[in-house]
Structure formats: structure tokens, C-alpha cells
Chain A
Amino acid sequence: MNPVAAILILAGSAVALLAGFGLVRFNSPYARFHAAGKAAPIAFLIAAGGASIELGANDAARLLLAAAALTLTLPVGIHLLFRAVHRTDPTTRPAVDELAGQPIDPETVPSSAHPPDGEEHLHDP
């Protein structure tokens, strides 16, 4: 195996280990989401970089597509998780909460949260 590819793959797997340990060891959900939302895509990026050096240009293009699909979409999903926890779980708060006093924008609340007028909620949450 190409030495540079081997180093990058090992570095990527080390970062993946950090993501896993971070997910287990952190105590507040906000800290855990950082492990899931940042460390994991970076681990995949480094491993994919190493693998694309090893494999030909054809597979490197596919790896680039997968890496782009991952790093562009997953942090957004994890950010939605941050927002969901922030809105529904008043017990845990991040250390610095800049959204503390601000009202919630009604457009961003999912439509199923408030039923259309006159229609009773089918089953209360």
C-alpha cells in the first residue's frame, strides 16, 4: 500500500475512534452532537483522502462525491438535532446559550406540531 495512503487511512481511523469515544464520554447532548456532527465526517474525509491516493482517479472521483455528499449534508442534520433538543428539552442547556431569550420563529416549527384550525389533535403527544 502507498505509505502516504496508509498514514492517511490510519489518521482517519484514529479520528473515528475519537468520534466514538467523544460520543460515549461527553455528558451533555450538545457536546455529543459535536462528536457526531464534526469528528465523524472529518474521519471519513481523511480516510477517503488516503483511499483515493491508493485507488485510481476513477474511484477518487466517486470518493469525492461521497465525501461532498457527507460533509455538506450531515452537519445540517446534526444542527437540526441541536435545535430540536434546544426547543423540547428545557433541562439541558449549553454552557453559552445565545438563543435563551429569543422567541421561536413560527415558520421553523414543523407543521405537524400545531394541527390545522378546527381539527382536534388525533392523539396527544
Chain B
Amino acid sequence: MIASIAIVCFVVSGACATIRLLVGPGLADRVAALDVALMSLMGAIVVRAAGTGDTAYINLLVVIAIIGFTATVAASQFIENGRGRE
């Protein structure tokens, strides 16, 4: 019961991130929105593991964290060298 409430909160946070992803004026806002979406995915994975006791997916979290970070750095380099400007 608690886990499902928490997962709903993480899903709403992911929805807010997608709103910013769609609306976001600049490319950098969209990259930040993607990061928050990844973060809510990681939170939902953790809460699901705590709720059901099935810890098969916990190893996925490190992969998501590192991939999210690499994507942010790559996108910021892309923005910075001038090709990301509208």
C-alpha cells in the first residue's frame, strides 16, 4: 500500500518532467527534464523492490545513474559549442 502510493508520486514526478520536456524553451531544460525523469524511474525501481521484496532490478540503478550523467555531459558539450542553439 505504501509502496504503491510512493510509486504514484514518482510517476507524477516523471509526468512533470515530461511536461517540462515538451514545453521547455531551451535544449538545456529538456536535458534537465530527462534527468528528473530518469531519477523518478530509479526511485520507482527502489520503491518497487522495497514493496515486493523482489530485488532483481536493483543492479539496474547504477547503470541508469551513469548513463544519465554521461548523457547530461554530452548534451551540455553539444549546447556549449553552439550547435544546440535554435
Q: A42: shortest Cβ distance to chain B, in Å?
A: 10
Proximity string of chain A (60-104) to chain B, C-beta cutoff 8 Å, 1 when within and 0 when not:
001101100110011011101101110111000000000000000
Q: List B residues at the A interface (Cβ < 8 Å).
A: 2-3, 5-7, 9-10, 12-17, 19-20, 23, 25-26, 28-29, 31-33, 35-36, 39-40, 42-43, 46-47, 49-51, 53, 55, 58-59, 61-62, 65-66, 68-69, 72-73, 75-77, 79-85
Across the interface, do B36 and A23 meet the contact criterion of CB distance under 8 Å?
A: yes
Q: List A residues at the B interface (Cβ < 8 Å).
A: 1, 5-6, 9-10, 12-14, 16-17, 19-21, 23-24, 29, 32-33, 35-37, 40-41, 43-44, 47-48, 50-51, 54-55, 59, 62-63, 65-66, 69-70, 73-74, 76-78, 80-81, 83-85, 87-89, 109-110, 112-113, 125
Of B20, B36, B43, B82, the contact of A88 (CB 8 Å cutoff): B82
Q: A101: shortest Cβ distance to chain B, in Å?
A: 19
Across the interface, do A16 and B32 meet the contact criterion of CB distance under 8 Å?
A: no
Across the interface, do B9 and A36 meet the contact criterion of CB distance under 8 Å?
A: no
